[in-house]
Amino acid sequence: MMRKSGLLRRRHSSDILEEGSFIDLGATEDPGEAFAGTKASVRMAEILRYDDVHAAAKWTYQGDIVILDITSIANDAVAVRRMSLDLKNITKDTGGDVAGIAKNLLCLTPAGIRVDRQKLRSQI
């Protein structure tokens, strides 16, 4: 069995592709139709300099979740401090949340979405 979304689900033989087989993605549904009803997206933004923060924050104002990769400026303590203050102000404006999710990754969320800071641990 495997876990999916916190629910137990039995693995069926149809879930496993035989070696050498493939899935024809052209025969699947139109990607535009699959996301027609979505109201928000998860976006990735690479922050190469301090000014990139405001461009990425526009997506949060539009209601999207933004994952920020700050690897390029992680060694510049002044830029990281300025960016952190700006992100806190953005979350105050939008009613969202900001949290570090890895060494050089931050998650910026819009209103109504909070980042849970507790890690899920395996119970094995």
What is residue 43's predicted lDDT score, i.e. its pLDDT? 94
Q: How many helices (H) and strands (E) does the chain have?
A: 3, 6
Superfamily in which the 38-112 domain is placed by CATH: SepF-like protein (3.30.110.150)
* Helices 77-94 and 52-61, packing angle to 10 deg: 20
* Domain residue spans of the chain: 38-112
pLDDT, tens digit (0-9, with 9 covering 90-100), for 39-95: 788 999 999 998 899 888 899 999 999 999 999 999 999 999 999 999 999 999 889
Residue 96 · residue 57 · CB < 8 Å: no
What is the dihedral angle through the alpha carbons of 32, 111, 79, 117, rounded to the nearest 10 degrees? Answer: -100
- Between these two residues, 15 and 109, which has the higher pLDDT value? 109
Per-residue three-class SS string for 8-51:
EECCCHHHCCCCCCCCCHHHCCCHHHHCCCCCCCEEEEECCCCC
Distance CA 20, CA 120 (A): 35
